[in-house]
Amino acid sequence: MSKPSVPVFPFFPKPFPDVVSQIFKMPLQRLLTPTNFQKNSLAWVFCIPLTAILVLISHGVVSAEVANTVGETVPVTMSKLQGSINTLWMILATLLVAIAYGGFAFLNAGFSRYKNVVNALAINLLTFIITTFIFWSFGFALLFGTQGNEFVGSGDWFLGAKTAEIYGLKPFPDGLPLSIFFLFETALAGITAMIVAGAITERVKFRDFLIFTVFLIGIAYSLVGHWVWGGGWLSKMGFQDFAGSTVIHSVGGWAAFSGLAILGPRMGKYETKKTNKLAGHSMSWAFLGCLMIWLGWFGVTAGSVFALNSEVPSILLVVNLAAIAGGFVAMITSWLQTKKSDLSLIIRGVLAALVAISGSCNAVSTVSALWIGAIAGFLAVIFIGWFDRVRLDDPVGVLSVHLIGGLWGTIATGIFDNKSGLITGEFLLLLNQLIGIAAVGVFMIIFSFVIWTLIKGIFGLRVGLEGELHGLDISEHGITAYNGFVMESAGGLTPIYADDSEDLSISSETPLSEEQSNSANEIQEADITEGATIKTKLENENDEIS
């Protein structure tokens, strides 16, 4: 028997094999050739989703053919087609949220010093792992469970429900599979813990933060989420939060506020009358993180529709307009304050705008979105300085971005909502929003203070003085993020060698510009202050012991 002239794809029913084989024969041969793979790697970006779509189509055809062979009829209705399209959209939205996860990792690591980069990345990774397990086992049931009351959900533990129908969604194939609904909600929950991680970075014990994450996601986030999204008392009162200005960002912001109050600032930050600038190690990472979060936020907001309908394009436009307004106003505010356009403040302005628009992106006009984003960007810059003055050491700017941005976004919903906002002459929605802010704020402050205090009393919460001086990468993980680069260290700029044979030190004869010299002096002064502070405290502790 002669071999077929084209390869056969067994997962495609007739008449697909010959057609698909002809389409993919030459591209696949070229792509899989080692010499051409790197040149053509970009083509995989297009081949993979196209192949996935064809597989989905073929699966439907095969199912219909098999059903027909046993005498069943599976009509292809518009409802089932829309359900499949919605499912595909929610898969994409979930993947977009995953991109935002990477963005938070880059953002937090970029605003951390080089000696704490591994710790920032590890916390973000483990946060998602723990969130997924906690949410699967009981968090999802507490949030969406239908057997509870207005304050807490119950039932269907360990994702025991058969379909998403009991949560108000149509069952698949007319609606969404339960698994996709769960994965999307899990991705949103994890963002809350990542928010807290950015605020308390560079000083909290790795283990202790993971313990706090269990309580934050398993109890606090799930309870507040039930009040708003699970048919709880705030929802019945008329409180609105479409994509998490309160449930995600205010919850995370209040938890971060409590953690900062209990942990205290990083060593060397406020040891003198002036505030020492402990700058992050990579603005490039922070910039990349901002762009990834911006992209991922299209999934967070538009995915909250749970369908691919006419609302989605409108939400995408509104979210983008708010973000550009926030970044632009943050730039102007920064320039008015310092005569310089600080990129770190522009990044925070964009992120604060994304946070603020989340609560009402389905219910405001484009003009309102610009106002919401612009005010969020302004507030972010103002409150970064204010929190620094009251000595709340927040390296990433979580409080000004997520707490203040979330509070403003919740209020903005009551002002700019197209149907019942203050701009329409209605006051009730704004009143409901203020009640929700107060309720969530009081609950989160009390809950977070109790949990942080218990963890501190039992485990210690904060790393030791030597661990903080040498960095959490070494003290908590035993590895470093960089090797072979010139880095800042206690006492100034010191070369770090890739191996014994490679000297990467900077020549002492290399001239520095005035700006470079001032920057190096600031780094050296901050590190010397930090090192001296820790040394003094260690000596005092030794004296007390002796």
Give per-residue pLDDT as tens, 215-255. Answer: 999 999 999 999 999 999 999 999 999 999 999 999 999 99
| Phi, psi values for residue 333, rounded to 5° | -65, -40
Distance of CA 310 to the CA centre of its chain: 26
Position 174 scores a pLDDT of 72
Confirm or reject CATH 3.40.1230.10 for domain 91-459, answering yes or no: no
| Residue 78 CB burial class (10 angstroms; 0-12, 13-18, ≥19) | exposed
The percent of residues above 70 in pLDDT, for the chain, comes to 74
* Residue showing tokens 């989340």: 358
CA R_g for the chain: 26
* Residue showing tokens 């992106």: 361
Task: Name the more confident of 11 and 173.
Answer: 173
What is the reported pTM? 0.78
Average pLDDT for 501-529? 44
| Residue 499 CB burial class (10 angstroms; 0-12, 13-18, ≥19) | exposed
Give per-residue pLDDT as tens, 156-191. Answer: 899 988 777 667 677 677 778 899 999 999 999 999
Position 169 scores a pLDDT of 73
d(CA 412, CA 67): 52
d(CA 302, CA 89): 10
Give per-residue pLDDT as tens, 53-111. Answer: 444 444 443 344 334 434 444 566 777 888 889 999 999 999 999 999 999 999 999 99
What lies within 8 Å, CB to CB, of 114 at 6+ separation is 281, 282, 471, 481, 482, 487, 488
Question: Would strands 492-495 and 486-489 be described as parallel, antiparallel, or unpaired?
Answer: antiparallel
Distance of CA 401 to the CA centre of its chain: 12
The percent of residues above 90 in pLDDT, for the chain, comes to 64
Distance spanning both ends of the chain, measured CA to CA: 91
Give per-residue pLDDT as tens, 363-397. Answer: 999 999 999 999 999 999 999 999 999 999 999 99
For 203, what's the count of Cα atoms within 13 Å in the CB-facing half-sphere?
22
Range list of β-strands (E), 238-322:
none
Position 161 scores a pLDDT of 81
At residue 234's C-alpha, the angle toward residues 233 and 239, to 5°, is: 150
Q: Please state, in angstroms and as integers, the Cα–Cα distance from residue 331 to each residue in 192, 324, 339, 394, following that order.
A: 27, 11, 10, 20
Residue from 472, 394, 439, 478 nearest 111 by CA = 394
d(CA 64, CA 48): 25
Give per-residue pLDDT as tens, 260-286. Answer: 999 999 998 887 777 888 889 999 999
pLDDT band at residue 12 using 50, 70 and 90 as cut-offs: very low
pLDDT band at residue 530 using 50, 70 and 90 as cut-offs: low
Position 68 scores a pLDDT of 41
